[in-house]
Amino acid sequence: MKLVFATNNLNKLKEVQVLMPSHIQLLSLSDINCTEDIPETSDTIEGNAIQKAQYIKEKYGYECFADDTGLEVEAINGDPGVYSARYAGPEKDADNNMNKLLQELKGQVNRDAQFKTVIALELNNELKTFTGICKGTITQDKQGDGGFGYDPIFLPKGYTKTFAELSLAEKNRIGHRGKAVQQLIKFLNN
């Protein structure tokens, strides 16, 4: 089975590729010559995932899935949420995003947060969604140099290391995207 993963984020692509069983051939956007930015104009994480999957299906005709992920921080009403990638501006700079969030949380006692990933699958003219959540807290400062995005400041519940300090295998096992991908794989295998 061939499936397009509708992302330009090479880090996400790498995370998901290692989870996919060998009978599913994962194609990237560059594999299908999709070079344009796919619109993400929904005000929900689920809406953006659906929008991206439907865009690829309609414009390119491929069976595909797309994800959208947001970091939801309790003390600031679930922000940055759907705007996580561009929290500090349209240039989508991870360091700037983390710095802004750490500044927003200065003096906050409640640092509870969760990562939420929604995967939307367009397959056989049907749409399915899968949601993965990983609860944790926001650290006081950046720790670790692995991962991407907010990984250096996200401490998953029950762990003493941030996502940026964990191996890819460990992050995939407990993380939001890994949980959503496992649901997707289970569905595809049935």
Whole-model pTM over 0.85: yes
- Write out pLDDT tens, residues 28-84: 999 999 999 898 899 999 999 999 999 999 999 999 999 999 999 999 999 999 999
Cα–Cα distance between 12 and 151 in angstroms, integer? 13
- Write out pLDDT tens, residues 85-144: 999 999 999 999 999 999 999 999 999 999 999 999 999 999 999 999 999 999 999 999
CA angle 48-45-55, nearest 5°? Answer: 15
Cα–Cα distance between 116 and 174 in angstroms, integer? 12
Q: How many helices (H) and strands (E) does the chain have?
A: 5, 7
Q: What is the pLDDT, as a whole number, of residue 84?
A: 96
Cα–Cα distance between 24 and 67 in angstroms, integer? 17
Q: What is the pLDDT, as a whole number, of residue 55?
A: 97
Q: What is the pLDDT, as a whole number, of residue 8?
A: 82
Length of the chain: 190
Q: What is the pLDDT, as a whole number, of residue 171?
A: 93
Cα–Cα distance between 145 and 25 in angstroms, integer? 30
Q: Looking at the DSSP assignment, which residues form a beta bridge with residue 156?
A: 136
**Would the pLDDT of 184 be above 90?**
yes
How confident is the model over 133-159, as a mean pLDDT? Answer: 96
**Would the pLDDT of 170 be above 90?**
yes
Look at the alpha carbons of 94, 95, 100, 103 in this order and tell me if their dihedral is positive or negative.
positive
Q: Which domains does the chain have, with CATH numbers?
A: 2-189 (3.90.950.10)
User: Which residues are designated catalytic?
Assistant: 68
